[in-house]
Amino acid sequence: MTTGKCPECNSRKLDRDSRKGQVVCESCGLVIEENQIDWNDRNHTLGENSHCSKTSGRHVGRDKRSRTGIDKKDIRAPRDVNYWYGMLRANEKTNLRANDILREMQALGFGDVYIDAAIEALLLCFTNEIDKGKVNLKRPYNQMRDMMSTDGKDDIYVIRVSVLSTFMALSDFCMVPYFIWKGMADCLGIERNDCSTQKRRIKRFLQAMKLAHNEIATPYTIPQLRLRTQALDAWFVHLRAMLGNLEVGRRDELLRAINERLQNLGEPSLDGDLFGENPDMLTAVVTHVVAEELGIDICKDDIAGIFYFSAGGMNAPLRRCEHIVRARA
């Protein structure tokens, strides 16, 4: 039992659900408060003993202050009380996972630009509130459950995969700024392959739902040239930040030369000399070649690390592209 008063019926019989971080009025069933879960706490400690803060009030789907349709005051038998609580929990089941993901997005520090873009995607992919119609694909939240049951991943891990993969998909649709996600995945201890797999599922499902439902206004298409432009710009900014240990004059000289070489290769373009290379790998190869030409001492492994590749991850792309990059000097 917790202190306070229900704003709906003025009852002081408030119950805190420590697993979900909710305060529920036992008299009328109103969900009064939802607390933000601290996912660094593996026990999901919530309530008065936690160090979590309230959410901003945003939620996915129908009003979070939903009801069971039964007034607890009318319940007499103890078994009916358990039934009432079961209905209360079931009433939120359709959007529970979506709101868990939303809270984790906020906890990880994503701003309004990202959160606002994610609301509809979460509604479609992680709730049952929009009927699938003729879409035969599994909802991504069902595949989250598969990850937990088959691969043995815990709840926190799966929610964080869903956060990153949702933003990866929205980044591909150019609905959020280009998302360089590998560093965050590594910091959170998330396998990159899990994120990539879930991203593909989210993209496919959103595109299928758009085709099946005319009322979904968001196109969920991939503007290839715009995406490539945003990606090259984002990796260039990232590279500048990661070269902070270089003397400023040499760093600026290197960055100007990299930008010029990319332009000489026709970038950004859908028919440039090396369009088949991903923007991160292309920028890494150009960085290696140009740094070598300018006599700037940055080893290949360090460049690979800047772009989140393995030590040998650049070997094949260099064999494939280096002669073309040098020819465009």
pLDDT tens sequence across 176-194: 999 999 999 999 999 999 9
* Number of other CB atoms surrounding residue 207 within 10 Å: 18
For residue range 294-319, what is the model confidence (pLDDT) as tens digits?
999 999 999 999 999 998 999 999 99
Give the DSSP per-residue string, 276-320.
TS-HHHHHHHHHHHHHHHHT----HHHHHHHTT--TTTTHHHHHH
pTM of the model: 0.74
| pLDDT for residue 277 is more than 60 | yes
The answer to which of 29-38, 104-113, 140-149, 261-270 has the lowest mean pLDDT is 29-38
Helices (H) and strands (E) in the chain, counts: 11, 3
Q: Are 171 and 199 in contact (CB under 8 A)?
A: no
| pLDDT for residue 96 is more than 80 | no
For 223, the enclosing helix (H) or strand (E) is none
pLDDT (0 to 100) of residue 143: 84
pLDDT (0 to 100) of residue 178: 96
Q: Which positions ≥6 away from 1 have C-beta within 8 Å?
A: 13, 14, 15, 16
CA dist., res. 199 & res. 148, Å (int)? 17
pLDDT (0 to 100) of residue 67: 39
Where are the CATH 1.10.472 domain residues in the chain?
Answer: 224-327
pLDDT (0 to 100) of residue 142: 87
For 33, the enclosing helix (H) or strand (E) is strand 31-34
| pLDDT for residue 17 is more than 60 | no
Packing angle of the helix pair 78-107, 155-172 (nearest 10 deg):
50
CA dist., res. 118 & res. 269, Å (int)? 28
| pLDDT for residue 9 is more than 90 | no
For residue range 194-211, what is the model confidence (pLDDT) as tens digits?
999 999 999 999 999 999
User: Quick one: fold of 224-327?
Assistant: Cyclin A; domain 1 (1.10.472)
Confidence of residue 41 (pLDDT cuts 50, 70, 90): very low
